[in-house]
Amino acid sequence: MRSISPSDAEEGEERSAGFVLFRRSPDRRLYLLLRHRDGGHWAFPKGRIEPGEDERDTAEREVAEETGIETPRRIGGFRRVSAYRFERGGRSISKTVVFFLGEAVSATVCLSDEHTDAAWLGMAAARERLTYAEGRRILDEAEAFLEAAD
């Protein structure tokens, strides 16, 4: 895994990590989506990789900070990468996000001040609610992975 230095951030490159979190209800899986305070987009919990952290450390820290869910049961074998560009302050940013798959045992979510809402949604509703196509692709891959494991 490559470390991101301060010069990378200055050049417009960011790396983040997060989780596609799900929980089981009696008849289906429910996925957790968060609505971001800035922009109002719906996405999975994720955040920037900090110096000294690896991807998993970041993903677990971000889930705890953003949702209050401590140490979800990580589903081995799932690691997906989402890469995209966006504008911030007139600069083009290249962002890479690594997602892991995790199962939450509790439905209780304690939002951070970065988010305004959270929702546990079935597959179809989660696909509709996710703001960006990359999020829908990651969700589709997570669902297919879990279906194959069932």
> What are the residues whose beta carbons fall under 8 Å from the beta carbon of 128, sequence distance 6 or more?
none
> How distant, in Å, are the alpha carbons of 8, 38, 138 from that of 107?
37, 24, 21
* The model's pTM: 0.88
Q: What integer best gives the mean pLDDT of the chain?
A: 91
Domain ranges of the chain: 14-149
CA 79/CA 19 separation, integer angstroms: 9
pLDDT band with cut points at 50, 70 and 90 for residue 39: confident
- pLDDT at 6 (0 to 100): 41
Note the CATH number of domain 14-149: 3.90.79.10
- Confidence tier at 2 by pLDDT (50, 70, 90): very low
* Lowest pLDDT segment from 82-91, 116-125, 133-142: 82-91
Beta strands in 89-150 (DSSP E): 91-103, 115-121
Q: For residue 11, name the pLDDT band (cuts at 50, 70, 90).
A: low
How far is 63 from 15, CA to CA, in rounded Å? 16
Per-residue pLDDT tens digits for 120-141: 999 999 999 999 999 999 999 9
- Cα separation, 66 vs 64, whole angstroms: 6
